[in-house]
Amino acid sequence: QRIKRLEREVERLQKWERAALSSAKLTRTSNMTIADNTETIVQWTDESWDTDSYANIVTDNTKLIAPRAGIYSVYAAMDFAANATGIRVIHLLVNGSLISQAAFNNLGTSRTTVFLPTQEYKLNANDYLQVRVLQGSGVSLDIDIDFNTPCFGITYVGSLS
DSSP β-ladder status, 97-105 and 151-158:
unpaired
CB within 8 Å of 106: residues ≥ 6 apart: 83, 84, 85, 86, 87, 88, 112, 137
Cβ burial, residue 82 (10 Å; 0-12/13-18/19+) = middle
Enclosing H/E stretch for 24:
strand 23-27
Q: Is 136 helix (H, G, I), strand (E, B) or coil?
A: coil
Predicted pLDDT of residue 109: 66
Q: How confident is the model at residue 18 (pLDDT cuts 50, 70, 90)?
A: low
Predicted pLDDT of residue 11: 73
CB within 8 Å of 34: residues ≥ 6 apart: 40, 80, 133, 134, 135, 140, 141, 142, 143
Predicted pLDDT of residue 16: 57
Mean pLDDT of the chain: 87
**Tens digits of residue pLDDT in 70-118:** 999 999 988 888 888 888 899 999 999 999 988 887 766 666 667 777 8
DSSP assignment of 54-115 equals --BTTTBTT-EE-SSSEEEEEEEEEEEPP-SSSEEEEEEEETTEEEEEEEEE-BTTB-EEEE
Output DSSP code: residue 26: E
pTM passes above 0.75? yes
Q: How confident is the model at residue 63 (pLDDT cuts 50, 70, 90)?
A: very high
Q: How far apart are CA 96 and CA 132, in angstroms?
A: 10
Predicted pLDDT of residue 140: 95
